[in-house]
Every structure is written in structure tokens, then in C-alpha cells.
């Protein structure tokens, strides 16, 4: 029945799943039914908390007849195998960003979901954030005239959070492009309608001990004339959350004295110690984030003919021709309720969100184009872009 909760299986009980736990716990429209994880401790913790079934492999999870949809929260390079397994089993799919590491894998995944007749949703990404949803509606309404420019920038400690070795290898989806740029790209594409045309970019890999891209800056234009510039650094120096009312990316209040914590935690750690530190952030070991505001991905300003719109964790600041105003984007009770809205609408009402497999493929194309442009010094034409659905 359309009112029944979606029976969801979870592939991967690591950090990505931990970030979704508060939303799953607060939203009765989704029931966690089963999970797959290689660590027995995580499976036991899941069964104790949710009463579902724990499996050692994703293939076993996909074969569970009680599971309607699969949330794939495994490492980037595993997405293709797990999406294909879910599609073959006829399960709807919510897969963490990025859709895949390679464009070839992403193409196969999109085709497999289409052939199986299942929905493929790519997220969570920050394009689901309520302030982004609200700004998208305001821009598409035409209330403030044509969208002319978007500025998006974010300065974080991403590169110095605990990492497995492959998370520091670009070819395996490591670095800031596939994990972080994808958020910014999704947000900007959603605000601008999706149809990016060309991008020119440069990247930075400045720490030999973290041998992957830690920063980038890019200029991208869209059909209709909008131009966007995106800048990101994960080198743990300046923290742009001070421009977001001291609210962290996950909606939590930033604590005083936290500056430099990521780098300090890694001092004198060898790679094995770092991997062990990362396991403390998984289900059954780590703790969840207590959010007080909507999530965000750094300062974003959308410049329209009759107003500039500044996205904040609590809503949109409107800087009009002669007056300023504020439009609230409500928070809670499920911090990522918009992601679950998309899942429930797809499974129960056959309604696709903007963030489909095709959308994820288009955003992944931009990630690869940034790397290509940085290597060649030339602008790159984008070929696989798609429009928003709404």
C-alpha cells in the first residue's frame, strides 16, 4: 500500500550510513529491514538496533524478498557492482554520491536500472538540502528575474579526516573531486537548471603526504547564459563555516577550540593507525551528529536580475533592489527528509526526483572535466548534461 513504510536494505554501515541514521530514525515512512557489511560488529549492532537481518554480502541482501529498495553506502569504487546487483534483483536504488568513479561504470549503472525498470536515485548530496530546494523554486518561479551568476565556495578540513589508502588515490575516487566537488556541482547545476555547457578549471595537490587533489577552482557556463564559479579547498586552514553562522556542514553548531583538530588527530599516525581511527566512525562504534540547522555546503550566492539570493543553513537571504528579506527553510525533524521524500516518492508513487541516475552521470562528467581541464589547460565541452525534472 502507498501508506506502508518503504522496506529498505542498507549496503554498507560506515560513515555515510551514520550520517543518514538521524533521518532514518526520525522518519516513519522508511523501515530499515536488512543490512550488509563485512564487519560482524556492525551487522550485530544493526540487528540489535533495528531488529533486521544482517548479511555478509550485498548479493545476499539483494536476494532478501522483504527488501523493496537498497541504500548503497559502500565506497565509491564498489558502487557499480552493488548497483548492478540491486538492479538485477529488481530493487529500487538510492546510491551515495558520486554515482561511480568512471564514466563507463556510470553509463552501465544507468542502463541497468532503466532495463530493470527500477528507480536509481543519486544521493544524499547537498542539492537535496532544504535551502537549495527553496532557492531552486524561487529562481525557477522567475520572481527575481533571470539567474545570471552563481558563486559557490567552501574551505574545509576534508583532506585530513581519517582516510583509507584508496581515499587518497584519485584513480580510485579519492581526493576532493569525487567526494566534495560533486556536492558543489550538484548544487550549482540544480540552481541553474542542469544544462552546463563548458568548464575551465585548475586543481591543487600540494601535500605529498596526501597525494591527491585537495583543492580546485572552476568556471562553468550554462544554457540560458548563467555562469558559475566554484572553489573548494580541503587543506584544513581557513574554515568557511564562519560565513555560515558557525554552523557546520551537517547542521551542527561548531564548537569553540575545534580549529586544527583534524590535523592534530593525524599527527604521528601511520596508515594502519589512520584506518583504525576511521573505523571508529562506523555504525556500532561511532556517534551520530546532533544537527540543529539544515545542512549546507559552504557559501552560495545566486545573482538574479532583481535580487541576489544568499543560501544559509536556515533559509534564503534576499537582497532586492531596495529591500532585504529572509525566507525560512524549515528544519527537521528528519535532517535529510528531502532525501527520504525522493525515495518514498519514487518507490510509492513512481515519481523521479531531479537527482536520477542520469543526473548523477551528468555531475560525474563535470568532475572528470575538471581533471581534464586542469591537465590540459583548456576548457572542456560537456556532452552528458541533463535538465532538472521540475
Q: What is the pLDDT of residues 255-269, one digit of tens each?
A: 888 899 999 989 888
What backbone phi and psi angles, to 5 degrees, belong to 244? -115, 35
Per residue in 169-204, pLDDT (tens digit) is 999 999 999 999 999 999 999 999 999 999 999 999
Residues β-bridged to residue 348: none
Strand pairing category for 69-72 and 380-381: unpaired
Q: What pLDDT, on the 0 to 100 scale, is given for residue 362?
A: 98
Q: How confident is the model at residue 283 (pLDDT cuts 50, 70, 90)?
A: confident
Q: Taking residues 126-135, what's their average pLDDT?
A: 98
Q: CA 74 to CA 42: how far, in whole Å?
A: 13
Q: In the 8-state DSSP scheme, what is residue 211?
A: -
Rama region for 203: left / alpha / beta (φ>0; ψ in -120 to 50; rest): beta
Q: How confident is the model at residue 286 (pLDDT cuts 50, 70, 90)?
A: low
Q: What pLDDT, on the 0 to 100 scale, is given for residue 269?
A: 84
Q: How confident is the model at residue 274 (pLDDT cuts 50, 70, 90)?
A: confident
From the list 179, 296, 287, 185, the residue with the least C-alpha distance to 234 is 179
Q: CA 121 to CA 93: how far, in whole Å?
A: 6
Q: Is 324 exposed, middle or buried (0-12, 13-18, 19+ CB in 10 A)?
A: exposed
> 337-349 vs 15-26: helix axis angle to the nearest 10?
80
Q: How confident is the model at residue 390 (pLDDT cuts 50, 70, 90)?
A: low
5-14, 261-270, 307-316, 329-338: range with lowest mean pLDDT: 261-270
219 pLDDT higher than 70: yes
Q: CA 139 to CA 147: how far, in whole Å?
A: 7
Which residue would you say has higher pLDDT here, 296 or 270? 296
User: Considering the entire predicted model, what is its pTM?
Assistant: 0.96
Q: How confident is the model at residue 277 (pLDDT cuts 50, 70, 90)?
A: confident
Q: Taking residues 275-289, what's their average pLDDT?
A: 74
227 pLDDT higher than 90: yes
Q: In the 8-state DSSP scheme, what is residue 281?
A: T
Q: CA 29 to CA 204: how far, in whole Å?
A: 43
Q: What pLDDT, on the 0 to 100 scale, is given for residue 278?
A: 74
Strand pairing category for 120-122 and 69-72: unpaired
Q: What pLDDT, on the 0 to 100 scale, is given for residue 287?
A: 74
Give the contacts of 25 (CB within 8 A, at least 6 positions apart): none
Helix (H) or strand (E) holding 41: helix 40-50
Task: Provide the CA 48 distance to its chain's centre, in angstroms.
Answer: 28
Average per-residue pLDDT in the chain? Answer: 95
Per residue in 47-74, pLDDT (tens digit) is 999 999 999 999 999 999 999 999 999 9
The cell for 75 is: 565506497
- E strand spans, 214-306: 215-222, 227-233, 300-304
Q: What does the radius of gyration of the chain's CA atoms come to, in whole angstroms?
A: 20
Q: How confident is the model at residue 273 (pLDDT cuts 50, 70, 90)?
A: confident
Q: What pLDDT, on the 0 to 100 scale, is given for residue 389?
A: 81
Q: What pLDDT, on the 0 to 100 scale, is given for residue 384?
A: 98
Q: What pLDDT, on the 0 to 100 scale, is given for residue 332?
A: 87
- E strand spans, 81-223: 92-95, 120-122, 147-155, 196-204, 215-222
Give the residue carrying C-alpha cell 513504510. Answer: 5
Percent of the chain with pLDDT over 90: 90
- Domains, the chain, in order of start with CATH, read 6-126+334-356 (3.40.50.720), 128-329+366-381 (3.30.360.10)
Q: How many CB atoms lie within 10 A of CB 319?
A: 15
Amino acid at each position: 500500500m502507498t501508506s506502508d513504510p518503504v522496506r529498505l536494505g542498507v549496503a554498507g554501515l560506515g560513515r555515510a550510513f551514520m550520517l543518514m541514521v538521524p533521518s532514518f530514525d526520525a522518519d516513519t515512512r522508511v523501515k530499515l529491514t536488512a543490512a550488509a557489511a563485512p564487519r560482524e560488529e556492525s551487522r550485530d549492532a544493526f540487528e540489535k538496533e533495528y531488529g533486521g537481518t544482517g548479511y555478509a554480502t550485498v548479493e545476499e541482501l539483494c536476494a532478501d524478498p522483504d527488501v523493496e529498495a537498497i541504500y548503497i553506502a559502500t565506497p565509491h569504487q564498489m558502487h557499480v557492482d552493488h548497483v548492478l546487483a540491486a538492479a538485477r534483483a529488481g530493487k529500487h536504488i538510492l546510491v551515495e554520491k558520486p554515482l561511480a568513479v568512471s564514466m563507463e561504470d556510470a553509463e552501465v549503472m544507468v542502463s541497468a536500472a532503466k532495463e530493470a525498470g527500477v528507480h536509481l536515485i543519486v544521493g544524499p548530496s547537498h542539492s537535496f538540502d532544504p535551502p537549495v530546494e527553496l532557492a531552486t523554486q524561487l529562481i525557477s518561479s522567475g520572481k527575481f528575474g533571470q539567474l545570471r551568476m552563481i558563486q559557490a565556495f567552501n574551505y574545509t578540513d576534508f583532506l585530513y579526516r581519517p582516510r583509507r589508502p584508496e581515499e587518497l588515490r584519485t584513480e580510485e575516487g579519492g581526493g576532493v573531486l569525487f567526494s566534495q566537488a560533486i556536492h558543489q556541482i550538484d548544487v550549482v547545476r540544480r540552481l541553474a537548471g542542469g544544462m552546463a555547457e563548458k568548464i575551465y578549471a585548475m586543481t591543487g595537490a600540494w601535500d605529498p603526504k596526501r597525494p591527491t587533489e585537495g583543492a580546485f577552482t572552476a568556471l562553468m557556463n550554462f544554457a540560458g547564459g548563467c555562469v558559475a564559479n566554484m572553489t573548494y579547498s580541503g587543506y584544513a586552514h581557513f574554515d568557511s563555516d564562519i560565513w555560515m553562522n558557525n554552523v557546520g556542514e551537517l547542521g551542527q553548531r561548531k564548537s569553540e577550540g575545534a580549529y586544527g583538530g583534524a590535523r592534530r588527530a593525524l599527527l604521528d599516525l601511520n596508515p594502519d593507525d589512520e584506518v583504525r581511527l576511521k573505523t571508529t566512525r562506523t555504525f556500532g562504534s561511532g556517534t551520530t551528529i546532533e544537527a540543529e540547522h539544515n545542512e549546507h555546503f559552504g557559501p552560495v550566492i545566486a545573482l538574479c536580475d532583481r535580487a541576489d539570493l544568499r543560501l544559509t543553513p536556515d533559509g534564503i537571504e534576499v537582497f532586492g533592489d531596495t529591500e532585504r528579506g529572509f525566507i525560512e527553510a524549515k528544519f527537521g525533524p528528519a535532517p535529510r527528509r528531502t532525501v527520504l521524500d525522493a525515495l518514498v516518492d519514487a518507490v510509492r508513487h513512481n515519481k523521479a526526483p531531479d537527482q536520477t541516475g542520469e543526473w548523477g552521470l551528468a555531475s560525474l562528467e563535470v568532475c572528470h572535466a575538471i581533471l581534464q581541464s586542469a591537465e590540459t589547460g583548456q576548457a572542456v565541452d560537456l556532452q552528458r548534461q541533463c535538465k532538472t525534472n521540475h
